Structure 1
Amino acid sequence: MNKFVKYTGCFVALLFVACNTAQNSVTTVADGENQWPMSGGPNGSWKVKTDEHVPIKWSVRTGENIKWKTTLPEGGQSGIAVWKDKLFLTINPPNDHPKHAEIVKEYQKIKSIYQSNFECQVLVLEKKKDQQFKKYKQKLKPVAEAWKQELDKNAYYQHGSTLEKPEIEKNMLRKHKIGKEYEKVLKKYNAYVHQQSKDLKKDYVELERLRKLKNGGASSKDVVLLCLNSETGKLLWKKTVKGTIESQYNYGFSDATTPCPATDGKHVWAINASGGMACFTLDGNLVWERTWQPTIGRPFNKQFDSMLFEDLIFNVEPPVAGDTEREKGWNYLHAFDKKTGKRVWVTQQALTHYNTPILGETVDGEPAILIGRGGPHGVPERPVGLSLISLVKENQGTEIWNWEPVEQNNESGWGALSTQHWDSEKASWFYKGNDHATINTKTGELIAKKPLSLVNQYNFDKVKQSYSLEENVKIKGLQNQRHCNLSDEDNLFYMVRYNSYLAKHNVITGLNEHLEVPNDIDANGKYIYGHPQTNDGLNSKGQLNAADARTRGNGFQKCFLGSPTMINNYIYFTNAVGMVYVIDANTEKLDESALVAVNDLGESGKTWSVNSLSYANGKIYHRTMKEVICIE
Structure 2
Amino acid sequence: MLRHSLLLSLALVSFSSLALAQQRWPSHRGPNQNYHLSSKTSFPTTWSVSKGENIRWRMPLPETGHSGIAVWDDKLFLTCFKELSETDNRNNGTWAAESRGHCLDAKTGKLLWSCDLPGKRPNQVNGTFTDSTTPTPVTDGKHVWFVSAGGYMACYTVTGQKVWAKPFDVRTKHSAKQFQPFLHAGKLYYVMMRDSADPLRREQTAKDYDKNSKTGWPWMHVRTFDAMTGEAVDTLPQGISVHSKGALGQVNGQTVLLHAKGGGHSPPEKPYGIGLSKLNATHDQVWERPGLYFEGTHFVDQQHAYCFDKNDLVVLDLASGQTIKRIPVRNQGSIIRFDESAGKYLAPQAVEKGKSKHMLTHRSNIGVGRYHFFLGGQAGTLGRIDLESGEVNHLQVPLQVRYEAGKKVYQWKQFDSGDATGSGFVVEGDKRRLSHGFGHISAATPIVINNHIYFTTVLGTVYVVDATAETFDQRALVAVNDLGKPGETWTLAPLTAAEGCLYQRTAREIICIQ
* Post-superposition CA distance 1:342-395 (Å, at most 9, x none): 122211211011110122112x232111111101112111111111110245xx
Out of 124, 143, 146, the residue aligned to residue 267 of structure 1 is 143
- Which residue does the alignment assign to 1:416? 295
C-alpha separation between the residues in 1 aligned to 2:224 and 2:42?
Answer: 36
Structure 1 residues 30 and 309: CA distance shift in structure 2, 3 A: farther
One-letter code aligned to 2:295? A
Q: TM-score, normalised by structure 1?
A: 0.73
- Which residue does the alignment assign to 2:228? 339
Native 8 Å contact 1:348 1:398 kept in 2: no
- Which residue does the alignment assign to 2:42? 53
C-alpha separation between the residues in 2 aligned to 1:77 and 1:546?
Answer: 16
- Which residue does the alignment assign to 2:462? 580
- Which residue does the alignment assign to 1:475? 353
Q: TM-score, normalised by structure 2?
A: 0.89
SS in structure 1 opposite 2:295?
helix
Gaps (5+ residues) in structure 1?
1-22, 99-211, 407-411
C-alpha separation between the residues in 2 aligned to 1:337 and 1:390?
Answer: 18
C-alpha separation between the residues in 1 aligned to 2:56 and 2:146?
Answer: 26
Say whether 1:402 aligns with 2:402: no
Q: 1:306 offset after TM fit, Å? A: 2.2
Structure 1 residues 259 and 69: CA distance shift in structure 2, 3 A: same
Structure 1 residues 70 and 467: CA distance shift in structure 2, 3 A: same
SS in structure 2 opposite 1:349?
coil
- Which residue does the alignment assign to 1:358? 247
* Post-superposition CA distance 1:262-317 (Å, at most 9, x none): 10000000011111110001111110011111222x42473211211231110101
- Which residue does the alignment assign to 2:479? 597
- Which residue does the alignment assign to 2:262? 374
* Post-superposition CA distance 1:164-185 (Å, at most 9, x none): xxxxxxxxxxxxxxxxxxxxxx
C-alpha separation between the residues in 2 aligned to 1:441 and 1:271?
Answer: 29
Say whether 1:611 aligns with 2:489: no
Gaps (5+ residues) in structure 2?
1-13, 204-217
Once structures 1 and 2 are overlaid, which stretch shifts more, 422-431 or 607-616? 422-431
SS in structure 2 opposite 1:242?
strand
Out of 40, 53, 57, the residue aligned to residue 64 of structure 1 is 53
Native 8 Å contact 1:61 1:602 kept in 2: yes
One-letter code aligned to 1:511? E
Say whether 1:449 aligns with 2:345: no
Native 8 Å contact 2:402 2:485 kept in 1: no
1:177-188 matches, within 5 Å, as: none
Say whether 1:629 aligns with 2:507: no
SS in structure 1 opposite 2:336?
strand
Once structures 1 and 2 are overlaid, which stretch shifts more, 321-330 or 78-87? 321-330
- Which residue does the alignment assign to 1:519? 399
Native 8 Å contact 1:517 1:529 kept in 2: no
- Which residue does the alignment assign to 1:305? 180
From the two aligned structures, give the one with the greater helix fraction. Answer: 1
Structure 1 residues 560 and 305: CA distance shift in structure 2, 3 A: same
Structure 1 residues 318 and 300: CA distance shift in structure 2, 3 A: closer
- Which residue does the alignment assign to 1:349? 238
C-alpha separation between the residues in 2 aligned to 1:73 and 1:558?
Answer: 29
1:240-251 matches, within 5 Å, as: 240-251=116-127
C-alpha separation between the residues in 2 aligned to 1:613 and 1:546?
Answer: 26
Aligned length: 480
SS in structure 2 opposite 1:380?
coil
Native 8 Å contact 2:444 2:492 kept in 1: yes
Structure 1 residues 421 and 37: CA distance shift in structure 2, 3 A: same
SS in structure 2 opposite 1:493?
strand
- Which residue does the alignment assign to 2:416? 534
1:461-472 matches, within 5 Å, as: 461-472=339-350
Structure possessing the higher radius of gyration over alpha carbons: 1
Out of 540, 543, 556, the residue aligned to residue 425 of structure 2 is 543
Once structures 1 and 2 are overlaid, which stretch shifts more, 332-341 or 30-39? 30-39
- What root-mean-square deviation, in Å, do the aligned CA atoms of Structure 1 and Structure 2 show? 2.2
Once structures 1 and 2 are overlaid, which stretch shifts more, 482-491 or 604-613? 482-491
One-letter code aligned to 2:198? D
C-alpha separation between the residues in 1 aligned to 2:422 and 2:151?
Answer: 26
Out of 220, 235, 243, the residue aligned to residue 111 of structure 2 is 235
Q: 1:39 offset after TM fit, Å? A: 0.3
Structure 1 residues 563 and 219: CA distance shift in structure 2, 3 A: same
C-alpha separation between the residues in 1 aligned to 2:77 and 2:423?
Answer: 22
Structure 1 residues 379 and 95: CA distance shift in structure 2, 3 A: same
Structure 1 residues 29 and 547: CA distance shift in structure 2, 3 A: farther
- Which residue does the alignment assign to 1:491? 371
From the two aligned structures, give the one with the greater strand fraction. Answer: 2
C-alpha separation between the residues in 1 aligned to 2:440 and 2:415?
Answer: 14
SS in structure 2 opposite 1:45?
coil
Say whether 1:384 aligns with 2:260: no
Once structures 1 and 2 are overlaid, which stretch shifts more, 39-48 or 242-251? 242-251
Say whether 1:314 aligns with 2:200: no
C-alpha separation between the residues in 1 aligned to 2:394 and 2:201?
Answer: 43
Out of 500, 505, 518, the residue aligned to residue 380 of structure 2 is 500
Once structures 1 and 2 are overlaid, which stretch shifts more, 591-600 or 422-431? 422-431
SS in structure 2 opposite 1:593?
helix
Once structures 1 and 2 are overlaid, which stretch shifts more, 501-510 or 346-355? 501-510
- Which residue does the alignment assign to 1:323? 198
- Which residue does the alignment assign to 2:97? 221
Native 8 Å contact 2:372 2:387 kept in 1: yes
SS in structure 2 opposite 1:381?
coil
SS in structure 2 opposite 1:604?
coil
Structure 1 residues 578 and 478: CA distance shift in structure 2, 3 A: same
What fraction of aligned residue pairs are identical, expressed as a percent? 33
One-letter code aligned to 1:388? L
Native 8 Å contact 1:254 1:300 kept in 2: no
SS in structure 1 opposite 2:475?
helix
C-alpha separation between the residues in 2 aligned to 1:76 and 1:404?
Answer: 35
C-alpha separation between the residues in 1 aligned to 2:428 and 2:127?
Answer: 6
One-letter code aligned to 2:306? S
